[in-house]
Amino acid sequence: MKFILASASPRRRELLEMLNIAPLEIVPAQGEERPEAGRSGAETAAMLSRAKAREVAARRDADDVVIAADTVVWLDGRLFGKPKDTGDAARMLRALSGRAHTVYTGVTVMRGGEAVTETEATEVRFRELADAEIEAYIATGEPMDKAGAYGAQGKGALFVEGITGDFFNVMGLPLCRLGKMLRHMGVSLL
């Protein structure tokens, strides 16, 4: 049995390595992430994680454990994925400034044809951001590959006043939920 992470995210890889999950292979899904209109943040994250898991599991041994995740930011009924460019990142950060938003991560675990998908929600509160801070943060490059255009585990932590829920969810992989899902599949991490 191997663990397969269906993601190129270095943060997800670090989190799994922190738990000493081995052997771990990184096999990113190749399909394009296309959210469907009219879906909630939770539904979108779950749907995208399922699609990634199915794609990667189709190329793996039945005994392999495929772990896929997708993280989105949700504010005022709008989905904030990864920014398309610096202007999009600035727009997202201005919208999040001084407000609370929800981070949803959909997680799918597949093994031997069985699949379990669950979603974690975490509330994140931002302090008010000055335009100069937003510009300086974007100049670091950090926001460009992250949902909502920030990384709470990096310099984006300077904007986060508080978190209600699973911090690891905000990083892209809710570890407590993942552990329970793996246990359901007969895999103990302890």
Contacts (Cβ under 8 Å, ≥6 apart) of 145: 82
In the chain, what is the greatest distance between 2 CA atoms, to the nearest angstrom? 51
Provide the annotated active-site residues.
70
Q: Residue 163: which of 111, 109, 125 has the closest Cα?
A: 125
Q: Which pair of structure tokens corresponds to residue 135? A: 């510009």
Would you call 176 exposed, middle or buried from its count of C-beta atoms within 10 A (0-12, 13-18, 19+)? Answer: exposed
Would you call 101 exposed, middle or buried from its count of C-beta atoms within 10 A (0-12, 13-18, 19+)? Answer: buried
The rounded distance, in Å, linking the Cα atoms of 141 and 28 is 22
